[in-house]
Amino acid sequence: QVQLVESGGGLVQPGGSLRLSCAASGFTFSTYAMSWYRQAPGKERELVALITSIGGTTNYADSVKGRFAISRDNAKNTVSLQMNGLKPEDTAVYYCHANSVIWKLNFWGQGTQVTVSS
């Protein structure tokens, strides 16, 4: 069955770093674009970062440019989000997402909590 399992969330102080990982299984990972979304209480879920299936193109929300970096390892079926210079406003549940335009399929992970606070 399809699975997207996030890990690496937790509590970190402002200015700190955290690395989120997403392990995928049950589908052809290398053919899917992968993204990280986040949702804070009372706010809409927003796209944080995206990486194409090959990995040659990435896109970031303006609020995280220069601080976050998305990467993928198709050999290991994983996608990661390196988060540096964390701010309290980065606090949210972060979700891993897979999308295939060709197959018209998409999958969501269960989410992992990131809390930035002193």
Q: What is the pLDDT of residues 64-75, one digit of tens each?
A: 999 999 999 999
Residue 116 to residue 53: CA distance in whole angstroms = 30
Q: What is the pLDDT of residue 55?
A: 75
Residues of the chain with pLDDT under 50: none
Joined together, the tokens standing for residue 86 give: 């964390």
Output the pLDDT for position 56. Answer: 82
pLDDT at position 39 is 98
Query: Among 26, 66, 35, which Cα is nearest to 53's?
Result: 35
